[in-house]
Amino acid sequence: MKDSVADRAALLVRHAVRPAARGRYEAWITEVTSECRRFAGFQGTAVIRPEGRDTSYTLLVHFDSDAQLQAWVGSEQRRRLVEELRPLLLRTERLRAGVGLWFTPALAGERQPKPYKQFLLTFSAIYPLSQGVPALLRTLTEGWPLPAGAIPLLSAGLIVWLMVYVIMPRYVRAVSGWLLR
């Protein structure tokens, strides 16, 4: 049975890379992404690169389901790649897995997007939906014998579905650099 969209999962990986090893680490990112593509359900990898004197890279690896993510996490390919990576790191990698997250929770002691940025991002996605979805539903259902309150109920459900499954996973990935600055 195919996993539902609600099961989409992400792995947040944090690596403190030795400054002299950045070039080799960038090549490692390419290799790990290539290996991930061989696993069922792989949806992509977002990379947040360090700025200035920071040495930390953040990788967000997306899979369709937690089961598919766990298959990657427990795989021999990943184990081998992590072993190859160890000499490039200042400390052990840090991992956090989650299902259906918009703003992935920070690892202990790590940066989390500032609340005002989370607000702006969420508001900028919800406001147009709150204007367009009800108008679209009224147009599509014109003349239907719907009970009072049906359009607001259907609108709220469609907006939440769009936010959770369609918009926010892509939107957060697209602006991740800004979110963590």
pLDDT digits (tens, 9 = 90+) for 85-127: 999 999 888 877 665 555 554 443 456 678 788 889 888 998 9
Looking at residue 129, its pLDDT comes to 92
Q: One digit per residue, pLDDT tens: the chain, 181 residues? A: 344 444 467 888 889 999 999 999 999 999 999 999 999 989 888 888 887 777 888 888 888 888 888 899 999 999 999 999 999 999 888 877 665 555 554 443 456 678 788 889 888 998 999 999 999 999 999 999 988 888 888 888 898 788 877 888 788 878 878 887 7
Q: What architecture (CATH level 2) is domain 5-99?
A: 2-Layer Sandwich (3.30)
| CATH 3.30.70.100 domain range(s) in the chain | 5-99
Closest CA to 15 of 43, 46, 44, 50: 50
